[in-house]
Amino acid sequence: MTVRLFLIRHGETEWSRVGRHTGRSDIALTEHGRAQAAALAPVLARTPFVAVFTSPRRRAVDTCALAGLGAAAAVLPELAEWDYGDFEGMTAAEIGAQQAGWSAFGDGFRNGETFQEVSDRADRVIAQVAALSGDVALFSHGHFSCILAARWIGLAMQDARRFYLHTASVSIVGSHPSHAALRVMLQWNVVPGVNTPA
């Protein structure tokens, strides 16, 4: 049996709701975010996970608990969001006002993690979980989960600019059903009750 990774973004926070870059800040879920996380529980309960890991940030840990997997979870520090450095707490528009033409995956974050550092961190997560057999739940964050998916399928971390994740979404990466050595994206950005596949 090969491994499948369920990439689960945390529920809504006040900062995610308005587009503030939330890296190392420990922002709590909103009431809506808590409801989003609880809505994940019946969906995730269908899968017998062989391992559950969560970012150390409160928003991810609480999402994991509300989704019914808190008791099985281990904190994996490498699942934390990209460190946004000087741009922590700022919106893209606010950053662009300081640095014309700025983009996250084009310019990065001043005094934050470099492209190489965050890419290497994603690769360390992949190396750790790829040795497992079965389904693994990873509770993390928007940018980092996109980077993790890009690295899983062999793309540069900058290619994650093409991916987007809603809060409290579930995405799955794994192996092609007919070609076990080929890593693929199996499901992307599914939000229970909103765009859940039939």
Nearest partner of 56 among 139, 148, 178, judged by Cα = 139
**DSSP β-ladder status, 73-75 and 49-54:** parallel
Active site residue 81: yes
- The catalytic position among 78, 81, 88, 113 is 81
DSSP 157: G
Strands (E) across the chain are located at 3-9, 49-54, 73-75, 134-140, 170-176, 179-190
Q: Are 4 and 27 in contact (CB under 8 A)?
A: no
Alpha carbons 7 and 88: distance in angstroms, whole number: 23
Name beta bridge partners: 176: 179
**DSSP β-ladder status, 134-140 and 179-190:** unpaired
Catalytic residue set: 10, 81
